[in-house]
């Protein structure tokens, strides 16, 4: 079964399943591997959830018009761009020498409670010492994996625009009538 020949609906629902799997692994890493998420990890999770929601709604809706399909691809790209920016910042913090790593700051829950939204975002993206901790999985840090998946999912969303929603049986019927 060639994934490049899948329908728009199948591609978007597969994108949703990938996002659900990524979130499942994030929860496994948190609760089974005891890797507590830093604020940047949480923002990457939010980006995955946004993309997953766009893929789910787009897959259930399965619009026929190219403009509506492009809208879903743009929304998925916006969620993925947020994730790429966050993962890139996270990877940059992990490459800093030990003497340049920011001091550990308060958790994201405290930042939400104590500061206005924009100030909280600025403090969270400034990073903290916990964001610089490298926990490799198969030799690649977690934000490296999420960065890769954001790029793949954005490409997948745009590739779905080229799909045809006609099933093999409807193509056979159409070719038989012409």
**What element of type H or E holds 42?**
helix 39-61
Angle of helix 142-159 relative to helix 8-31, nearest 10 degrees, comes to 170
Nearest to 137 by CA among 27, 25, 17: 25
Nearest to 46 by CA among 112, 95, 140: 112
Top pLDDT among 177 and 109 is at 109
Find out whether 96 and 119 touch, Cβ atoms under 8 Å: no
Q: Where are the domains of the chain?
A: 3-177
Q: What is the DSSP letter of 32?
A: T
Check residue 173 and give its pLDDT: 42
Q: What is the DSSP letter of 12?
A: H
**What element of type H or E holds 137?**
strand 136-137
**What pLDDT digit, counting tens, does each position of 115-148 carry?**
777 777 666 666 555 666 677 778 888 889 999 9
Angle of helix 39-61 relative to helix 117-126, nearest 10 degrees, comes to 110
Check residue 177 and give its pLDDT: 47
**What pLDDT digit, counting tens, does each position of 22-76 carry?**
999 999 988 998 888 878 888 899 999 999 999 999 999 988 888 889 999 999 9
Assigned CATH topology for domain 3-177: Bromodomain-like (1.20.1550)
DSSP-based three-state secondary structure for 140: strand
């Amino acid at each position: 079964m060639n994934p490049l020949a899948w329908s728009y609906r199948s591609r978007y629902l597969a994108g949703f399943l990938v996002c659900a799997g990524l979130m499942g692994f994030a929860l496994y890493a948190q609760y089974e591997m005891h890797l507590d998420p830093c604020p940047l990890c949480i923002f990457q999770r939010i980006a995955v959830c946004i993309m997953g929601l766009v893929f789910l709604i787009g897959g259930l809706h399965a619009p026929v018009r190219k403009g509506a399909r492009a809208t879903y691809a743009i929304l998925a790209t916006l969620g993925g761009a947020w994730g790429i920016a966050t993962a890139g910042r996270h990877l940059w913090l992990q490459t800093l020498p030990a003497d340049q790593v920011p001091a550990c700051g308060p958790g994201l829950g405290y930042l939400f409670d104590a500061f206005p939204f924009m100030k909280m975002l600025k403090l969270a993206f400034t990073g903290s010492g916990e964001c610089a901790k490298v926990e490799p999985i198969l030799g690649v840090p977690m934000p490296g994996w999420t960065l890769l998946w954001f790029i793949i999912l954005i490409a997948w969303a745009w590739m779905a625009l080229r799909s045809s929603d006609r099933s093999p049986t409807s193509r056979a019927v159409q070719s038989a009538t012409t």
